[in-house]
Amino acid sequence: MDQILSREELRARFTRREVEQLVRAGELFHVARGVHTTAPPQGLVLARALLLAYAGLIYSGDTACQLHLGQPLSLPLQAIGSMKCRAIDTDLLVRKASRCREHVHVKGVPVTPVAHTLAWLAEFRRIDDARALLQHSAKDRSHVPVLLAAIHALPRIPTELRALLDTTPIAQDSAAETRLHGVLERAGFALRCNVKVGHYFYDLLVEDRVLVELNSRTYHSTWDQRTKDAWKANEAQAAGYMLIAVTVEDLDRHPAQVMEIVRLALERPRSPEQSPVMPRPVWEWNAQVRFGDGARDFY
């Protein structure tokens, strides 16, 4: 089993001469001052060993992206430390000081959250990697509002990330949303994806006036989800938007009608407002949505 050994653990098991012999024999590997491993320092073994060597390390950049995506880790690992830490630039690790201390744990190591990692990738114009991470992180549709809210809560959203959000359909319906995006784009409409209005995120915004939601049986058939959808529509329309809801079946069988209803909606003049018109979203006050179908007993 691969092991990471601190200076204290080495001293308890080996003499200094034995350590030198094991290193020469390729049975022990020096990672950093006071830290050795019993396997070549790479991948998660290296990531965990460096945590022992450098307190407060949070993996970021390419390393964070690879950890979130479950990909092999490339060298050097990239990380951030506190504002008081010194910079490190070696074949194994590049560390920079950062005010950001937010992190999540992936495979047992601290990593910058997806939103922060996306911002880094976009800022360095790693758009393909950012798109892959965005779509991977939004595979579970229930995670999409949380992810988008985290992105919008960033101190600064790079222009490249805003553009990526505007043009990338996400979640389990992403294939269908991509088709819908294509149908409307070919018709000449200006589109934005994943748009927040009030408390909710909507699949598409057409010409900054008409919101389009794509619904499937998989994600919109439960009682609580139907209630959420109803109040999501209520808020959009109360804010001054026209809301068009279409199903995957509509898109597959009647794309011309989908395009036509959007065109008709655009003919109606609107002056929409993106700030919330309701004080709270439905999941904060509706017991059915908060507690599931069983909450119907309370009514």
Q: What is the mean pLDDT of each run of 10 residues along the chain (299 residues)?
A: 82 90 92 92 95 95 97 97 94 95 96 97 94 88 84 93 87 72 88 89 92 75 80 92 87 84 81 67 70 48
CATH code assigned at 207 = 3.40.960.10
Give the count of domains, the chain.
Answer: 3
Cα 81 to Cα 120: distance, rounded to the nearest angstrom: 16
Q: What is the pLDDT of residue 296?
A: 42
- Which residue do the tokens 């949070």 mark? 58
Question: How long is the chain?
Answer: 299
One-letter amino acid of 215: N
Q: What is the pLDDT of residue 298?
A: 35
Q: Are residues 9 and 106 in the same domain?
A: yes
Q: Are residues 225 and 294 in the same domain?
A: yes
Range list of β-strands (E), 22-140:
29-32, 35-37, 58-59, 77-81, 88-89, 93-97, 104-106, 109-111
Q: What is the pLDDT of residue 43?
A: 95
The region, left, alpha or beta by phi > 0 then psi within -120 to 50, assigned to residue 61 is left
135 is in which domain, residue-wise? Answer: 114-168
Domain boundary residue among 168, 183, 208?
168
Q: Are residues 189 and 287 in the same domain?
A: yes
Q: What is the pLDDT of residue 257?
A: 85
Domain boundary residue among 71, 97, 112?
112
Are 276 and 238 within 8 A, CB to CB?
no
